Structure formats: structure tokens, C-alpha cells
Structure 1
Amino acid sequence: MAQYLETTYRNPLIEEVWADPAVTGPDDDGFYWSYATDDDHEPLPRRLFKVARSRDLVHWETHPPGTEAGAFAAPIPNYGRYRAAWAPDIRRLGATGWRFYGTLKFDDHEDAGPEGHGIFVAPSSGPTGFTEPTVLQRGPGFTTIDPCFYHSTVLGRNFLYWGSGHAPILGQELTEDGLGFAPGSVPRAVLAPTPGDWSDRLWEGVHVIENPLTREPIMLASKVDTWVGPYQAFALRGGAHPLDPFTPAPSPAPLLAENAAWNRCGQVFVQADAIGQLWLFYHAVRGDQVIPGTESLEANGRRGIPLRQMCMERLLFDSAGFPYVEGGGPSSTLKTGPVVLHRA
């Protein structure tokens, strides 16, 4: 007999490096899945994106059987020279179709030129074992990273957003199966940074959801500097069409801001629990913690590479329809967690 259980949790959810987390599920066996960046300076072995699973969104088994090498069943063509598998976004489309969107630094990467970082999509019949990746877009520098899938229930159509590198965030319609861009579609700028404004010079790590009541698109976007800080997430409201420009909330306060315990918090992802409550997953750095083994490295004016861990907060909506989290930043105390379906 199945029954609903309310969990409790305390951040971080995963102790090891778990940057740019994505969360999806449950699958047919009741597991939720999380995926994360695999990057240079992280402990070996290298993986084609990290994988973890959980039955309650709180307790996570990292690198479960079959995912020791990552989310992919085979090497990805034109990838391996660099260790830079970033910012995954995984969705289940229909009963058996899973889609993996991610960012790679390819073997033929150009530091200056159109063949810089790129975004791709790969299919699978389940939450692991992705194969046959298709490169969707590449661009100069860091302008083509951090893909985000969005399904508009109003239009019944799929969209993909991406961007960083001091360039606009772009969006484009996808095909029904999510494996390519819709014929005749073109990228459209939906959010632009302000050149010369230190506090508004870069947006990245966007995640788009629907307001549960109005079904209007809401963009959750991170800025300004994931390595040095401050790094925080903001909510922006979309228009009638998913590719209309997104506008900031009336309040300048961020959705997720640094505090005395946690810093460099962003790269958010939203997942519903068993009763439809929304939970905001993100990475953050606790104090001055760095990845073990990197203490002697000089990076961004300090020693060590920041240890970005996966955290979670309940996502709520105010009377104006904008999302917020209690306290406005990462929590450190024991809190009431997601409600999950327990199968006896």
C-alpha cells in the first residue's frame, strides 16, 4: 500500500561537488534523479555528467549502479580533450522518452570564434544511458551554454533557452519530440545584460517554469559571478508568448541571495513533489569551503576552487504571482521537506 510521507531536510543535500543541479522524476520505479556538472579540478574519475537518485528528494545515492561513468552509455563524439560537461537539463517527454540537454567544451573548441562552447540534446528510454547526442548550437566564448527546456501548456509547444558570456539570453522553439529546433524557427533575445553595469553585466543559468495559477512563464536567472560572487538568482515575468522579453519583479530583491552561511548560490532548478509542492534546487558554497585537493591552486584571486553543493528550498508565490523562498536565501536549519509517495 502506498502512502504520503512528509520529509525533513538540512542543506546541503549532497556533500560532494554537485554544481548546476538538475532534478527530474519520479521514474516508473519511484526514483527521482539529479544530474550535475562534471568539470576540471573535480576529483577523479571524470564522468559524462554526474548522476544521483533518491526516493524522497532528500537522501541521495550518488553514482548509482550503471552510472559510474556518468549519464551516457558511450563516449560523446568530439568530446574528451577537455573536462567540461556543464549545466544539464533533463526532462521526461511522454511515457518512455527522456531528453538530456547539456553544455560541452568540444575537442575543436575555439577560444575566439564561432566554434566555442555548445549545447546539445540526447535521447534515452530511461533516466540514464543517453546516446546519440545532437549538437543544437555553438557560439563564441561562453555565449552558448546552460540550456533550459520549457513546455508551454498554454500553447502545447516546447522551447529551449540558453546563454551567458555577457550576451543576451536566447530562446527558440523546439520540435514536438524535443530533439531539434522547430523548422523555420530562429533564436530570439528574451533577456539582455547591461554592458558597463557591474551588477547587471551577465545573466546565465536560466530556468523557466509556469506560474501554477496563471500559467504565465516565469524565468529564474542567475547573476553575476559564479566563482567570485556575489552570485544570486532573480525571478522575471514573461509575456503572452514564451519568446517575449522577460521583465524583472517590481522588487529589486533577489529570489535567492547570499547570507552569512552560504554564498555563490544560483543555477536553480524546480521540481514538484508528490502533492505538487514546488522545490527549488540550486548550488551554493558554504563559507570558504573548497574542493578537496585544490587548496594550493590560485583561482580568481583566492586559493582553492569553491565547493559548490546541492541545496533545496520550498518555492512559494506571492500575491503578485512572483516566486520567493522563506528567508530569501539558503537555509542551514532543519526544515520541513517534500511530501513523497512511499511504496510499502
Structure 2
Amino acid sequence: MGGRWINQDKPQGTPFVNPVFDHDAPDPSGALKGDDGYYYIVTTQANYENGMEKLPILRSQDLVHWEHAGQVFDTLPDWLDKVEINVWAPDFVRHDGKYYVYYAGQSAPNDDGYKMGIGVAVADDPLGPYVDKGEPIAIGPSFGTIDPFIFTDDDGSSYMYWGSDARPIRVQKLSEDGLSLVGESEEVLHVSPVKKYERLLEGPWVVKRGGYYYLFVSGDNCCGAGANYAVMVARSESPLGPFEKYSSVPGGGPILEANDRFDAPGHNSIVTDDAGQDWILYHAFDRNARFKGRILLMDKIDWKDGWPVINDGKGPSFTEQKSGPVIRKE
């Protein structure tokens, strides 16, 4: 790998303290590095100076200091409801030199009422302009068809995972151009009414480590005064399952849940720095400033006994982390 390390001669990351972006930034997408050296993420709709932005775009050079940089849509695609802005839970993918934003949205009303669907928009640059496909690639009668995530396996096959609304997490193969689904969907992870946080599972994210596919999910109530949210994980030897829940393993359970400082952490993405270290990006409420909304946090992922561990199980970190992500300047 060419280039040099930013601001240092040896791989030592930038110290940081949560939050890494002290503004409403729910459901952070995966972080993609653009040709300009910035990392970009997309978030659920949020209010900024000019009002409610439709899938805001944030950027950072070190994954620690983030700034608002734009939005995916200036005008919502025609298939979406225009009366009330409802676009959320984006995933951000680079494919064949282009940038794809997959997102959930509420359809325009018709004779069947409102539906929820997953759309996709494409651009040549992380900041756009984005051109929407013009119709959803998946749609259903409820919140069961939301929260898309795209995983590409070692053989080049790509899959879309999605789900919520107390229904199973599903997966289906993605077409080569990334604009449609192929074949039939399959159920890969089910809710559990008797387990804490598992009455509803959503926000899937998959990584492959050491021969296992790890499926991260969040549940079961992301928002409001009664938010009860945490991150869980399951693993499988196939991207199509069956997945073993960590909560079913002796001593297992949520890998990230509330503590005295931050409440309802969840809906994560994962980014690997240039030193090979995994980091989890997620949102949470600051108990000291809940009015700010779901702000952006980050923590290191350690892998122990075949499972991910975050902050030794103590919830989101809130003291200075001496070494953050290691980034090499190109």
C-alpha cells in the first residue's frame, strides 16, 4: 500500500471522544473513501439550517472529525410520498466506479394506501448529483421492507439484507448492476418475543471474519422517550444462514447497549481502517442533551473467542480513546 500516514510516522490513530458528530445523524451508512481522500457516510433524514434534509451526507478525513457536506436528494423521487418526508436507513456502496445509495422510504399513497419500500440512487461522485432508479427495488405493506444493507462476498456475489416490524430479517441476491433483486428472498434471522431487545430486529449489517459471516442487527425500539435499543449479533458459515445468535450462546447477549451516559445505541455500520482495525459507527441519545437527537458515535471492535466485543461490554465509550482509526494519506 502506497502513501504515508496522516500526521504521524507510525500507525497510531487520532484520539477521540464520543460523540464524533454532535448532531442528529441517525442510522449511519457504511463509510466510503472517495477519490478526494474524504470518507463519506449518508444518514437518515435530519434537520439542518435549511430545514429537513433528505438523506444528509457527512464527510471526514480521519473518521473522527465529521462535517455536513450535502444531501442525496434535493427533490424526492416520484415514487415517494411528498407530503411528509420519510427517507431513512441508507446504505452506501461503491460499484464499478459509481456511488450507490440504497434507502428506505414511504411510497406515495394509492388505492392500497401507503407502502414502505427500498429505493436506489446512483452518482459519479459521493456528493452527487444522484439519479434515482425511479421505482423501488422492493416494496411491502409495512415497515417490514426497510433498512437495506448490501454485502458483497469474496466471489463477487452481492446480496441485499433488510427487515424490521417484528418480521424476520431477509436476504436476496442483488443483480450485477445493483439495480434490482434476483430470485426469491429468504428469511435469515427471526425475532424473539421473550428476549430483551429482540421483539423487533432491524438495521442489518454483515461482515466476514475468520470464515464466519457476522450479522449485526439492532432492536427493538429506536426512538422516543421509551427508546429501548441495542446491538446484537449472529454468525453463520454462509451469507444465507442459518445464523446462530450470540444471545443464544452461554454468556452471550447484546454487544452494545445503554449506559449512564448514552441511551439506545444502535443501527450500526462497520468500517475497517488502514491498519486493519474494525470500528463500529452508530447513533445514540446523549442523556445530557437528548434534544439533539440521535448523534453519531464510534468505538473499536475487538474480536474475542469468535465474537465481536465493544468497550468490554460497558456500552458506548465516553472518555478519551487514546488511539482512534489509523488512516493512510494517499
Q: Which residue of 1 aligns with 2:100?
A: 99
1:278 aligns with 2:274: no
Query: By how many angstroms is 1:22 displaced?
Result: 1.2
Residue type at the aligned position of 2:298: M
Distance (Å, rounded) in 1 between the aligned partners of 2:74 and 2:101: 12
Q: Is the 8 A contact 1:109 1:117 kept in 2?
A: no
Residue type at the aligned position of 2:216: L
Q: Which residue of 2 aligns with 1:4?
A: 5
Q: Is the 8 A contact 2:54 2:74 kept in 1?
A: no
SS in 1 for 2:73: coil
Q: Is the 8 A contact 2:269 2:281 kept in 1?
A: yes
Q: Which residue of 1 aligns with 2:55?
A: 49
Instruction: For residues 58-81 of structure 1, give each alpha carbon's deviation from its aligned partner in whole angstroms, at most 9, with x where no partner exists.
Output: 11111x2xx2xx113654113322
SS in 2 for 1:256: coil
Query: By how many angstroms is 1:44 displaced?
Result: 4.9
Match of 1:219 among 199, 208, 215: 215
1:146 aligns with 2:132: no
Q: Which residue of 2 aligns with 1:203?
A: 201
Query: By how many angstroms is 1:107 displaced?
Result: 2.2
The alignment yields a C-alpha RMSD, in angstroms, of: 2.2
1:162 aligns with 2:180: no
Q: Which residue of 2 aligns with 1:296?
A: none
Q: Is the 8 A contact 1:21 1:267 kept in 2?
A: yes
Query: By how many angstroms is 1:131 displaced?
Result: 0.8
Q: Is the 8 A contact 1:207 1:221 kept in 2?
A: yes
Instruction: For residues 177-222 of structure 1, give each alpha carbon's deviation from its aligned partner in whole angstroms, at most 9, with x where no partner exists.
Output: 221112xx101000111346664311011111111x32x2110000
Distance (Å, rounded) in 2 between the aligned partners of 1:174 and 1:285: 34
Identity level (%): 28
1:236 aligns with 2:234: yes
Distance (Å, rounded) in 1 between the aligned partners of 2:113 and 2:173: 22
Distance (Å, rounded) in 1 between the aligned partners of 2:167 and 2:289: 30
Q: Is the 8 A contact 2:197 2:229 kept in 1?
A: no
CA distance 1:339–1:181, change in 2 (3 Å): same
Q: Which 5+ residue runs of structure 1 have no aligned equivalent?
A: 293-306
1:314 aligns with 2:315: no
Query: By how many angstroms is 1:276 displaced?
Result: 2.1
Taking the TM superposition and a 5 Å limit, the aligned residue runs for 1:163-178 are: 163-178=163-178
Taking the TM superposition and a 5 Å limit, the aligned residue runs for 1:7-22 are: 7-22=14-29
Q: Which residue of 1 aligns with 2:91?
A: 89
Using the size of structure 1 for normalisation, the TM-score is 0.85
Distance (Å, rounded) in 2 between the aligned partners of 1:141 and 1:108: 13
CA distance 1:59–1:44, change in 2 (3 Å): same
Distance (Å, rounded) in 2 between the aligned partners of 1:197 and 1:109: 37
Query: By how many angstroms is 1:99 displaced?
Result: 1.2
Q: Is the 8 A contact 2:268 2:281 kept in 1?
A: yes
Q: Is the 8 A contact 2:261 2:288 kept in 1?
A: no
SS in 2 for 1:144: coil
Instruction: For residues 89-135 of structure 1, give each alpha carbon's deviation from its aligned partner in whole angstroms, at most 9, with x where no partner exists.
Output: 001123x122111011122278xx68521111122122122212341
Distance (Å, rounded) in 2 between the aligned partners of 1:225 and 1:248: 19
Distance (Å, rounded) in 2 between the aligned partners of 1:109 and 1:313: 43
Distance (Å, rounded) in 2 between the aligned partners of 1:277 and 1:115: 42
Distance (Å, rounded) in 2 between the aligned partners of 1:109 and 1:189: 28
Distance (Å, rounded) in 2 between the aligned partners of 1:318 and 1:197: 23
Distance (Å, rounded) in 2 between the aligned partners of 1:7 and 1:272: 15
SS in 2 for 1:22: coil
Distance (Å, rounded) in 2 between the aligned partners of 1:43 and 1:289: 19
Distance (Å, rounded) in 2 between the aligned partners of 1:77 and 1:197: 40
CA distance 1:199–1:48, change in 2 (3 Å): closer
Using the size of structure 2 for normalisation, the TM-score is 0.88
Distance (Å, rounded) in 1 between the aligned partners of 2:197 and 2:229: 10
Which deviates further from its counterpart, 122-131 or 279-288? 122-131
Distance (Å, rounded) in 1 between the aligned partners of 2:260 and 2:110: 39
Distance (Å, rounded) in 1 between the aligned partners of 2:266 and 2:113: 27
Distance (Å, rounded) in 1 between the aligned partners of 2:195 and 2:20: 35
Q: Which residue of 1 aligns with 2:310?
A: 325
Q: Is the 8 A contact 1:92 1:99 kept in 2?
A: yes
SS in 1 for 2:312: helix
Q: Is the 8 A contact 2:119 2:132 kept in 1?
A: no
Q: Which residue of 1 aligns with 2:259?
A: 259
